Structures are given as structure tokens and as C-alpha cells.
Chains A and B, each alone.
Chain A
Amino acid sequence: MRIRRPEPHTLAGAYALDALDGPDRARFERHAARCPECTREVAGLREATARLAEAAAAQPPAALKEAVRAETARTRQLPPITRGSHAAGRARPGPSGRVSVRRLALALGGAAAVAAVTVWVTGSLPPPAGQPSSSQEIVAVLTAPDAVKLTARVRTGGTATIVMSHHDGMLVFAAAGLRRLPAAQHYELWVLGPGRDRPAGRLPAPSHGMTGPVVATGLRSGDRLGLSVEPTAAAGRPTTPMLLELAL
């Protein structure tokens, strides 16, 4: 039997049912990439097929959950789609002013930071021991629509990079090339506000020349960020001059 090639648009139903094979599927996907109406229609039909899936529900064997967990534990997660990357061959218009996680991670200090942030963002590894900042907070700041980047020199050597969301009152701090400290001392971040200075986090020991990232929260407009060297027995207030002071 000779089969005519169908109009791509009439294939939306068959596509939503996964009833297109090989070349038919590829042809419809090429068409849909230029046809927002088709994409919308398929999305609507997928809501209907999802209900067909729910109607077929059947309890899996209990052992399957453990097998799945074992498999996910050794599976690296995909990073989110960001501006400059493509989903299914389709260019996505990114919201203007939004910076990619990868780019911000780069801003936070090069390849090591990208690796570190990527690992935390994708969650395939737990954060290093003693790391105070949760990956969720880092992601929240890096993906905030109003995220801005600031960089500053540290007086005793090294560069600090801060990505801040004013809306969320949060920032991610990372530094590269900080002077090494004796074991009894550490770098401490401070939020220097009108009438109040408060510790904003102890920087972990550097790894591959990179320190951080550390998240500071609860920032208000008018706050300044400071960095100082403190004795390991912390005093709760800065005891040495600031090596860096930055208006946020």
C-alpha cells in the first residue's frame, strides 16, 4: 500500500500518543519547532494522555524503589537549560538580563568554581564537609532574575566575586587566590549594617586556589559586605581591619 505523507499539523494527536515512528516523528518535531501553535496543542493533548497513564496505574514491586535509588545515586543530573543552550534543537528566548548559572559560576572564579557549582547544582555529590551553604541557596541566588555580579580585590591578595539578588536579600561569595592563613586563623565574612555588624559566614579552606562559595542571607539595602581575618575562636564581631569592604 502506498502511503501518502500526512500534513504535519494533523499529526499532533499521533505525536502526543507516541504513535509516530522514526522519520514521521522527526518530521513532526522539525515542523513543531517552527510552529508554536503545534507545540501548544501537543502540550494540551499530553495532559489528556497523562490521564490515560493515571488510569492505567498499577503498584510496582516494592523492591523497584531501592533499585531506582541505587541507580540515581550514580547518575549525574543534567544542568538546567540556560541562555545559549538549546532544548530539543529549539532556540529559547531567554528573559533579558538573566545570566546563566554557568556564566555566574565562571564569574565566581573560573573552572574550579564551575566544577564546584555544577556539582552542587546538579547534586550528584554532597557538598564538601563543613560547607555551610546549601546547593539550593546557591542555585536560588545564581538563578534569581535580578542577580548581579560584583568583583573586588582583597587587600592582602586575591579577588572576591559576589553574585547578589537584591530582591531575595541573598548573595553568593567566592574568592580566588586568597593568601594562605595559619591554622589558627580563618577568613570571616561580615554584613556591616547601620548600627549592626554580624558574621555572615566563615570561609572554608581553599581548594585548588578557590574559596567558597558561601551564601549570606537576610541582607538589606544599605548593608556592606566585609571580609576579615579572625582567630578560629570567633568573637562574634570583627577583631581585625577589613580586607575588603563592598557596598551592596
Chain B
Amino acid sequence: MSPPRSPWARTPPGRDTADLAALLARVAVGDQAAFDAVYDRVAAPVFGTVRSVVRDPGLTEEVTQEVFVEVWRAASRFDASKGSPMAWVATIAHRRAVDRVRSEQRSADRDRRAAAPMIAYDDVAETVEGNLDRERVRRCLGTLTDLQREAVTLAYYCGYTYREVAGLLRVPAGTVNTRMRDGLIRLRDCLGAGR
């Protein structure tokens, strides 16, 4: 058995993407070993993203598990012509986390969560240190305007809707929309993540 792969191992993104796409193709035909390899590759970003949105440790594990079951179930639907495998997995993870939080929120105390965003944002700013990927993302987030950066990070790392973000930042919802879009475009260009 090969040693567990470090989540920070640096490989050229092109090769990594091709490998992950090939692994997903094998997962689609029920290859458990390929699924294990996919898990090892993406478990850390999935778990970290879900945790930043849902916060609760037990719920984080539950949602992470659901995300991987969905990756297994829907692997045949991954289409490399529509985006990278990491974007596909991250989209499943983030959407699942956000939907879970929102459905819990509907039945829970809204005020309690109102205190969470700043904590979450600080945590992210904190953990963004000490790793090349994070450094790069942080540097690129730094090229955004304050409003763009806050709109993007509150939505992504805290799972807020644009209307909630508008309420928190006390700006019109339409403004938040355009800032989210402009901010992401700038981030994409800075990271060289666009296609």
C-alpha cells in the first residue's frame, strides 16, 4: 500500500486534473480503488469547505459523508468538457453544505447564527496562512475590493445568500450581486483558474 498522499503535495495542476478525471471515470464503473484514491485527493478540501459552512463537527462529518456518497453515485455524470474534476466535487460539497445549513436554519434560531459569520471569516483568514495554495488564494483575495472580498467570502465560507450578505453589509442586494460576480471574475483571473 502506498503511503497516504499529503493534501499539500504539489503536482502540476494539469496532470493532477487529468489524473482526477481519469479516476472519476473509473469510479463511474464502480471501481472502489479509484474511489479510495479520489477520496484521498479531495477529502481535505471537501471536509474543510463543509466545516467552514456548517461549523458543527457532527454535522460536518455527516454532510461530508453525503458528499462522497454523491460523488460515488453521480461519477458517471462528471463531464470534463464542462469543468475540472475539483470544481465538480467542490460544487457538490459546497451546495450540499449550504442546503443543509439553510434547511436547519429554517427550523432553528436565526439569531444564534448571526454571530457566526465573523468568526468563520476570521478562522479562514487564520487558516489561510502556512500553505502555498492558501497563500495564493489569500493574495488574490487581496486584489479584490473590500466589498467584493466580503461578499465572496461571506457567501462561500459562511453559506449566506446574497440577500443575507446584503443585510450583513448594509448594501443593496443588487450591489452584492454585481460585487460577487466581479469579485469572482477577478479571483478567477488572478488564480489563472479560468478556462
Contact = CB atoms under 8 A, between A and B. Distances in A.
Contacts of B142: none
Q: Interface size bucket, A side?
A: 35 or more
Nearest to A13: B181
B161 A55 contact: no
Interface in B123-137: 124, 127-128, 131, 133-134, 136-137
B184 A49 contact: yes
A75 B87 contact: no
Q: Interface size bucket, B side?
A: 35 or more
Given A13-B177, A64-B43, A68-B65, A44 B29 contact: no
Interface in A48-81: 48-61, 64-65, 67-69, 71-72, 75-81
B162 A48 contact: no
B116 to A, nearest CB: 15
A136 B187 CA distance: 39
Interface of B: 7, 26, 28-32, 35-36, 39, 43-49, 51-52, 61, 64-65, 68-69, 72-77, 82-84, 86-87, 89-91, 93-95, 98-99, 102, 124, 127-128, 131, 133-134, 136-138, 152-153, 155-157, 159-163, 165, 173-174, 176-185, 187-188, 191, 193-195
Interface of A: 3-4, 6, 10-14, 16-21, 24, 43-61, 64-65, 67-69, 71-72, 75-81, 87, 120-124, 135-136, 139
7 contacts: A14-B177, A17-B184, A53-B49, A60-B46, A68-B39, A71-B69, A123-B31
Which 9 pairs show the lowest CB-CB distances between chains A and B? Answer: A123-B30, A13-B181, A13-B180, A58-B48, A48-B188, A60-B47, A55-B137, A53-B90, A57-B44
